[in-house]
Amino acid sequence: MASENRSRSGSLLSMLSTALFYREPVVDNKIFVMTFDDSYSCNPASIADALLMKDDRPEIVWAVSSGSDLKSFPEGINKVTRGSKEMFRQMKTSRIWLDNGVNCAWYFMPKRRKQIYINTWHGSMGIKKLSGNFLWKIRAGRCGRITDYLVTNSTFEEEVFRNTFWKKAEFLKEGHPRNDILFDEKRLSAARSEIFTKYGIAPGCKILLYAPTFRDGKGLNIKFPDLKAVASELSDKTGDEWRIFVKVHPRDKNVHHDFGPEAVDVSGFTDMGKMMACADFAISDYSSWVYDYVLLKRPVVLYCPDKDEYISSRGLYYPLETTPFPVVADNEGLLQAVRDMDTNTYKASCDEFLRSKGCYEKGTASSRIAYFILDKCRGLL
């Protein structure tokens, strides 16, 4: 109810702002950015990083909230409070809207004819069906109608978008900007060093990452995997020292979860690309991040003790069993999957999966989309 009231008041404020700012011109060299969790993260952050490196970089205005980690924003990003009158003014006068969800459509701010709406979404060949409550679907429908360009990384994604809300948006078939790091060994190494330093991990350690998705309206109410036992099994198998990282979904990060004293909570680290860079073995469930991580062809096991219930309530685009990842329902199955993992067979399965989804990631998306945005700002396209 509280979120509905905030949305309603925001919608009223957007209508008032439309009346107040309708005479203010669109600024060609200005970009307005929103992310679903108000953080400097995901595809918009990767695009912004590329834009900030340009000599003729545009003005970038980013919507934030009280929960945003303001220290994570680089110099050159102007921040504005989400839902404020000033946010609507910036939104009304920006040439480009850049979004990784249905955020720019949330308050029903009218898009002007000179404005361009680029949506990057926040999943990759994700298995979860795009869905939400009634209000979310209304906003997603509007988002689909006003989006001009939609960033994609595969023919699978194109089909999903066309068959849901984005019937007419033009695809930018460049791959996902946040995945560029996965193609760059120097950036992978630098990210690993950064995170190891931040969390006090010895350089020679291996990382077991557990990062589950949220459950609609229920919190993370499942029997957790025995991460200590998995780390011990991995240590026996590889001879390395393994440390445990846990990253819960942003919707669950404010709720305490007991993963054991050995687990390091990295939920506050918003850059999933960097987190993937330091993960050597991953456990997840229905989350879309593993469909980014598959590009590295590092081991993944899907721990799904609530599979039937989740599929019944949310729905999947394809069976979990058609992915390269072993699917298990309990800790015994999880440990057996670790023992049975064969590197060569697994990598071949990853290659086949990527081919079957028509993946065209190349590691150049951030730069190419940044140039596209600059050309749009200059009126060259």
Q: Kindly provide the b/e burial profile for residues 77-91, where b requires at least 16 CB atoms within 10 angstroms of the residue's own CB.
A: bebbebbeeebbbbb
Residues 263 and 369 occupy one common structural domain: no
Domain shared by 100 and 205, yes or no: no
* Number of domain units in the chain: 2
Owning domain of residue 107 = 2-179+363-378
210 and 67 in a single domain? The answer is no
pLDDT digits (tens, 9 = 90+) for 153-171: 999 999 999 999 999 999 9
CA dist., res. 124 & res. 246, Å (int): 21
Q: DSSP label at 40?
A: S
233-258 pLDDT, tens digit each: 999 999 999 999 999 987 777 677 77
Global confidence as pTM? 0.90
List phi, psi (to 5°) of 117.
-105, 115
In this model, does residue 10 exceed pLDDT 80? no
User: Distance (Å, rounded) from C-alpha 115 to C-alpha 102?
Assistant: 16
The pLDDT mean for the chain works out to: 92
Q: Tokens 């000033």 belong to which residue?
A: 86
In sequence order, the 6+-apart residues with CB closer than 8 A to the CB of 56 are 374
Q: Quickly count helices (H) and strands (E) in the chain.
A: 13, 13
- Do 222 and 109 lie in a common domain? no
119-138 pLDDT tens trace: 999 988 878 899 888 999 99
CA distances (Å), origin 371, targets 82, 325, 374, 375, 380: 27, 36, 5, 6, 11
- CATH code of residue 14: 3.40.50.11820
